[in-house]
A and B are shown apart, each in its own frame.
Chain A
Amino acid sequence: MSAADDAKKPGTTGAAGKPEGPYRRETKLPQNPRRVRGGVRMKRKEGDPDAWAEQRLWRICEQAADGETLKEGLEYARGGQTRRISFEGGKAEASVQGRRSRPYATSVSLPAYSHEEAAQVIQALGDQSRYAAKLLAGELPPSIEDVFVPIGLHLFPSSEEDIELSCSCKEENKPWCKHAVCVAALLGEKLADDPFLVFELRGIPRDHLVEGLRDVRAMATLGPGPQPVYAAHVSGLSDTPAPSLEQSVQGFWRAPRRGPMPSVPVEPPEVSHPLLRRLGPSPFQESRFPLVGLLATCYDLIGRDAIEADDPDVGSEDPPSREAEAQAQPEPEQKQAEPERPKARPRATARPLKRD
Chain B
Amino acid sequence: MTDSGAVLQADTLVLHACFSDRTVLVWGESAGALRAAGGGGESDEHAFSIGADRLASVVGDQAGGSRRVRLLLPAEGGASRVLPSEQLAFETGLDAETLSPISDDENGGGLTLREVTVDAVEVPFDRYRAVFDALLERENEAGGGDRVVVGETIEFYATLGVLAHHLLAQQRFLPMLYQDQADLSGGWMAWLGDGATKERVLALAALMPPAARAAIDDSEHDGWAIIQSVLDGFIDTACRATLIREEMTDTIDGRDPTDVQIAWLSGLLGEEHAVRAVEPTRSEMTRRIRRWVGSLEEQGQSTTWRLLLRLNEPLEEALEGVDGPPPDSVRWSLSLHLQNTENEHVVVDAVDIWSFGRDSVIVEGLQLDSPPELLLAELGRASRYCPPLERALDEAEPIEVLLETKEAYTFLREIKPILLESGFAVETPAWWDSPVGRLGARLRIESEDMDFEGAEGSADAAAPRLGLTSLVGYQWDIAVGGTTLSLHEFEQLASQKQPLVRIDGRWVEIRPEDVEAAVEFIRTNPGGEMALGEALRMAFGADAKKIGLHVLGVEATGWVSSILGGGKDEQGNPVRTTLPEIDAPDNFRGTLRPYQARGLSWMAFLEQFGFGCCLADDMGLGKTVQLLALLTHEREVAKGQGETVRPTLLVVPMSVVGNWLKEAQRFAPDLRVLVHHGLDRKQGDELVEAASSHDCVITTFALANRDRELLERVHWGRLVVDEAQFIKNPAAKQSVAIRSLNADKRIALTGTPVENRLSELWSIMEFLNPGFLGSSGEFRKRFSQPIERYRDQTRSEQLRGLVRPFILRRTKTDPTIAADLPEKLETREYTHLTSEQAELYENCVNRMLHAVEESEGIHRRGLVLAALIKLKQICNHPAQLLKETVGEGGGAPNPSRSGKCTRLMEMVDEVLSEGERCLIFTQFRQMGHLLAAMLRQHLGRGVLFLHGGTPQKAREKMVEEFQNPQGDVPILIVSLKAGGVGLNLTAATHVFHFDRWWNPAVENQATDRAYRIGQTRTVHVHKFVVRGTLEERIDEMIEAKTELAENIIGAGERWLTELDTSQLRDILTLRADAIGDEI
Chain B interface secondary structure, helix, strand, loop or mixed? helix
Given A43-B367, A254-B86, A312-B786, residue A229 in contact with residue B290 (CB < 8 A) = yes
Contact A262 B791, beta carbon cutoff 8 Å: yes
Cβ–Cβ < 8 Å partners of A287 in chain B: 259-262
Q: How far is the CA of A244 from the CA of B72 in the complex (A)?
A: 12
Contact A227 B179, beta carbon cutoff 8 Å: yes
> Which one, A223, A277, A297, A336, contacts B385 given CB within 8 A?
A277
Contact A303 B101, beta carbon cutoff 8 Å: no
B322 at the interface (CB under 8 A from A): no
Cβ–Cβ < 8 Å partners of A238 in chain B: 224
Q: How far is the CA of A289 from the CA of B875 in the complex (A)?
A: 85
Q: Which of B507-515, B732-740, B1038-1046, B1071-1079 contacts A (4 or more CB under 8 A)?
A: B507-515
A248 at the interface (CB under 8 A from B): yes
Cβ–Cβ < 8 Å partners of A272 in chain B: 171
Q: Which of A106-114, A135-143, A160-168 contacts B (4 or more CB under 8 A)?
A: A135-143
Cβ–Cβ < 8 Å partners of B199 in chain A: 262
B687 at the interface (CB under 8 A from A): no
Q: Which of B293-301, B466-474, B642-650, B818-826 contacts A (4 or more CB under 8 A)?
A: B293-301
> Which one, A228, A259, A344, contacts B177 given CB within 8 A?
A228
Tell me which residues from 148 to 206 in chain B have a Cβ below 8 Å from any Cβ of chain A: 151-153, 156, 159, 162-163, 165-166, 168-180, 183, 185, 187, 189, 191-193, 198-206
A294 at the interface (CB under 8 A from B): yes
Cβ–Cβ < 8 Å partners of B175 in chain A: 295, 298
Q: Which of A27-35, A150-158, A210-218 contacts B (4 or more CB under 8 A)?
A: A210-218
Range of interface residues on A (Cβ < 8 Å): 35 or more
> Which one, A237, A279, A309, contacts B293 given CB within 8 A?
A279
Given A229-B176, A233-B193, A250-B111, residue A348 in contact with residue B782 (CB < 8 A) = no
Chain A interface secondary structure, helix, strand, loop or mixed? loop
Q: How far is the CB of A99 from chain B (nearest CB, A)?
A: 24
Q: How far is the CA of A325 from the CA of B472 in the complex (A)?
A: 29
Residue among A38, A328, A344 facing the most chain B CB atoms (10 A cut-off): A328
Given A218-B290, A228-B177, A275-B172, residue A298 in contact with residue B243 (CB < 8 A) = yes
Contact B74 A310, beta carbon cutoff 8 Å: no
Q: How far is the CA of A40 from the CA of B369 in the complex (A)?
A: 12
Contact A303 B168, beta carbon cutoff 8 Å: yes
Q: Which of B414-422, B555-563, B607-615 contacts A (4 or more CB under 8 A)?
A: B414-422
Per-residue CB contact flags for chain A residues 271-292 toward chain B (1 = under 8 Å, else 0) read 1111101111011100101010
> Which one, B86, B113, B291, contacts A283 given CB within 8 A?
B291
A26 at the interface (CB under 8 A from B): no
Contact A303 B171, beta carbon cutoff 8 Å: yes
Contact B152 A259, beta carbon cutoff 8 Å: no
Q: How far is the CB of A322 from chain B (nearest CB, A)?
A: 13
> Which one, B108, B202, B385, contacts A234 given CB within 8 A?
B202
Given A229-B289, A289-B261, residue A222 in contact with residue B225 (CB < 8 A) = yes
Contact A242 B209, beta carbon cutoff 8 Å: no
B210 at the interface (CB under 8 A from A): yes
Range of interface residues on B (Cβ < 8 Å): 35 or more
B492 at the interface (CB under 8 A from A): no
Contact A336 B512, beta carbon cutoff 8 Å: yes
> Which one, B111, B171, B177, contacts A229 given CB within 8 A?
B177
Contact A275 B171, beta carbon cutoff 8 Å: yes
Contact A273 B171, beta carbon cutoff 8 Å: yes
A1 at the interface (CB under 8 A from B): no
Contact A257 B206, beta carbon cutoff 8 Å: yes
Cβ–Cβ < 8 Å partners of A220 in chain B: none
Cβ–Cβ < 8 Å partners of B86 in chain A: 252-254
Cβ–Cβ < 8 Å partners of A250 in chain B: 101, 108, 111
Given A267-B170, A305-B238, residue A336 in contact with residue B303 (CB < 8 A) = no
A241 at the interface (CB under 8 A from B): yes
Q: How far is the CB of A306 from chain B (nearest CB, A)?
A: 4
A117 at the interface (CB under 8 A from B): no
Contact B222 A261, beta carbon cutoff 8 Å: no
Contact A230 B294, beta carbon cutoff 8 Å: yes
Contact B207 A257, beta carbon cutoff 8 Å: yes
A232 at the interface (CB under 8 A from B): yes
Given A271-B417, A306-B165, residue A284 in contact with residue B203 (CB < 8 A) = no
Contact B222 A232, beta carbon cutoff 8 Å: no
Q: How far is the CA of A141 from the CA of B218 in the complex (A)?
A: 31
Contact A38 B357, beta carbon cutoff 8 Å: yes
Q: How far is the CB of B364 from chain A (nearest CB, A)?
A: 15
Cβ–Cβ < 8 Å partners of B514 in chain A: 332
Tell me which residues from 294 to 346 in chain A have a Cβ below 8 Å from any Cβ of chain B: 294-295, 297-299, 301-303, 305-307, 309-310, 312-313, 315, 325, 328-330, 332, 335-337, 344
Q: How far is the CA of A350 from the CA of B269 in the complex (A)?
A: 12
Name the CB-closest residue of B to A250: B101
B214 at the interface (CB under 8 A from A): yes
Q: How far is the CB of A304 from chain B (nearest CB, A)?
A: 8
B228 at the interface (CB under 8 A from A): yes
B953 at the interface (CB under 8 A from A): no
Q: How far is the CB of A286 from chain B (nearest CB, A)?
A: 8
Cβ–Cβ < 8 Å partners of A222 in chain B: 218-220, 222, 225
Cβ–Cβ < 8 Å partners of B238 in chain A: 302, 305-306
Cβ–Cβ < 8 Å partners of B225 in chain A: 222-223
Q: How far is the CB of A250 from chain B (nearest CB, A)?
A: 6
Cβ–Cβ < 8 Å partners of B74 in chain A: 249, 252
Cβ–Cβ < 8 Å partners of B422 in chain A: 278
A21 at the interface (CB under 8 A from B): no
Cβ–Cβ < 8 Å partners of A242 in chain B: 205, 208, 213, 222-224
Cβ–Cβ < 8 Å partners of A315 in chain B: 781
Q: A237-B205, A255-B209, A280-B384 are in contact. List 16 more A-B contacts (CB 8 A).
A: A139-B303, A214-B290, A215-B290, A226-B180, A237-B201, A244-B221, A251-B209, A259-B206, A263-B790, A265-B793, A312-B785, A313-B543, A313-B546, A329-B517, A336-B512, A347-B246
The 5 A-B residue pairs with the shortest CB-CB distance, nearest first, are A232-B193, A332-B513, A248-B210, A226-B178, A306-B168
B interface residues (Cβ-Cβ under 8 A, vs A)? 16, 22, 72-74, 85-87, 101, 108, 111-113, 151-153, 156, 159, 162-163, 165-166, 168-180, 183, 185, 187, 189, 191-193, 198-211, 213-214, 218-225, 227-228, 238-239, 241-243, 246-248, 250-252, 255, 259-262, 265, 269, 286-297, 299, 303, 357, 359-360, 362, 367, 369, 384-385, 413-414, 417-418, 421-422, 511-514, 516-517, 520, 543, 545-546, 548, 781-782, 785-786, 790-794, 968
